[in-house]
């Protein structure tokens, strides 16, 4: 296997644009790539690669043919968007070129999966991806094609027998879970804000997989307001043990940055520094349990200047084997670029100034009256016995 890491990037992914005023502003992708370049990660640590768009045969690995046809129609004529497929809604307004932009993002994630499986790269990152709400037959939650599901499906097509998907976006990874609900070859783990308080109102701990795949879906429903300590405690209380038991050949991770305390669409209180710590943990877990095979995707994140570019640049740097010191200053020319494009002031450092700490759930014990510990215990009780683990 190559020791190199790939960063999947084609400037045209910024064409995934739902229009002015929509929270998913594609400037977040452009600014992330410019910050990656400002730290010169593209000049050695990362090989920048542009994959081709996903073709219909690839899209059909996950999506229904009638849905793909509906996306194509809406892409050619946004006024023809079919609401029955989730197209033309407030969350997923139709736009010209929607199919092409969505297929291009999907192609980058599929290309990342292929590179890692074939040994062309140890790690591959597509921060434009992670569109985890897309369903086989419909759009949902800002997501047209589900590139995460497509990457996993392609890995299975190439011969992978066990793929683990770890989703730390603030929203439940419902589309990926639904796609592989009855497939015992795929373990989906999602840590997210509790469905009582956030879209898509799924991801309860009792959702553990369909018939023949019991225990292959794990959901940690975190109380609103959860911060660094609780978030990291929950991650380490669930993810490593399940990965050790499942023995994945590849790990696919989704790093939505909307867990951040500045994100306008959700209610967790996680710092950039904790997000960076989880990215490092995912990297380490890939080496520990999957021979280093790691596909890392972006996801949500709507603080498009202050949070997303820094979070995903840290992710890319970790994948490239050259982590950025959180205390590093943000390059001045990038800050000028931010102001030029957004008229917003950019952050000065690559940190929120936090040093995240967490207590181990097993070694340090748990408090049955604590809401965070209750959430963790509910997941462990629902899923761990299926893997021969004690809750």
Which DSSP category does 345 fall into?
A: P
As a whole number of angstroms, the distance between CA 25 and CA 148 comes to 20
3-class state of residue 187 by DSSP: strand
Strand ranges, E, within 33-158 = 46-49, 123-126
β-pairing, 123-126 vs 163-167, is: unpaired
Identify the CA nearest to 292 among candidates 247, 250, 235: 250
Element (H, E) at 250: strand 250-254
Q: Write down the catalytic residue from 132, 133, 192, 255.
A: 133
User: What value does the CA radius of gyration of the chain take, rounded to a whole number of Å?
Assistant: 19
CB 146 within 8 A of CB 179: yes
67-85: b or e for each residue (b if 16 or more CB lie within 10 Å)? bbebbebbbeebeebbeeb
Helices 65-76 & 98-118 angle (0-180, nearest 10): 130
Give catalytic status of residue 336 as yes or no. Answer: no
As a whole number of angstroms, the distance between CA 202 and CA 221 comes to 9
Which DSSP category does 126 fall into?
A: E
Contacts of 282 (CB under 8 A, 6+ apart): 166, 251, 253, 255, 294, 296
Q: Give one word for 355, left, alpha or beta, with left for phi > 0 and alpha for psi -120 to 50.
A: beta
As a whole number of angstroms, the distance between CA 142 and CA 145 comes to 10
Q: Which residues are known to be catalytic?
A: 133
């Amino acid at each position: 296997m190559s020791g190199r890491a790939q960063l999947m990037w084609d400037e045209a992914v910024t064409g995934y644009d739902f229009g002015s005023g929509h929270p998913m502003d594609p400037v977040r992708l452009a600014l992330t790539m410019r910050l990656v370049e400002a730290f010169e990660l593209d000049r050695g640590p990362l090989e920048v690669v542009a994959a081709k768009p996903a073709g219909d045969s690839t899209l059909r690995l996950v999506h229904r043919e009638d849905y793909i046809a509906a996306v194509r129609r809406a892409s050619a004529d946004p006024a023809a968007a079919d609401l029955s497929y989730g197209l033309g809604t407030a969350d997923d307004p139709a736009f010209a070129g929607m199919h092409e932009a969505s297929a291009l993002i999907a192609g980058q994630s599929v290309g990342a999966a292929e590179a890692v499986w074939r040994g062309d790269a140890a790690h591959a990152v597509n921060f434009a991806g992670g569109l985890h709400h897309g369903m086989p037959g419909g759009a949902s939650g800002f997501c047209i094609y589900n590139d995460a599901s497509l990457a996993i499906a392609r890995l299975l097509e190439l011969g992978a027998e066990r793929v683990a998907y770890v989703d730390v976006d603030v929203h439940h990874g419902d589309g990926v879970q639904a796609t592989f609900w009855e497939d015992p070859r795929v373990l989906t783990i999602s840590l997210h804000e509790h469905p009582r308080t956030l879209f898509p109102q799924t991801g309860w701990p009792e959702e553990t997989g369909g018939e023949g795949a019991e225990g292959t879906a794990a959901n940690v429903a975190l109380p609103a307001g959860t911060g660094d300590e609780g978030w990291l405690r929950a991650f380490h209380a669930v993810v490593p043990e399940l990965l050790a038991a499942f023995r994945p050949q590849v790990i696919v991770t989704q790093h939505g940055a909307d867990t951040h305390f500045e994100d306008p669409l959700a209610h967790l209180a996680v710092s950039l520094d904790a997000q960076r710590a989880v990215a490092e943990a995912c990297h380490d877990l890939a080496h520990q349990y999957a021979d280093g095979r790691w596909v890392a995707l972006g996801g949500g994140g709507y603080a498009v200047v202050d949070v997303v570019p820094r979070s995903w640049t840290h992710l890319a740097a970790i994948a490239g084997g050259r982590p950025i010191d959180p205390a590093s200053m943000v390059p001045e020319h990038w800050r000028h670029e931010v102001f030029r494009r957004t008229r917003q002031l950019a952050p000065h450092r690559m940190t929120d100034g936090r040093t995240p700490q967490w207590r181990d759930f097993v070694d340090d014990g748990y408090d049955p009256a604590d809401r965070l510990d209750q959430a963790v215990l509910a997941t462990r009780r629902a899923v761990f016995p299926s893997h021969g683990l004690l809750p």
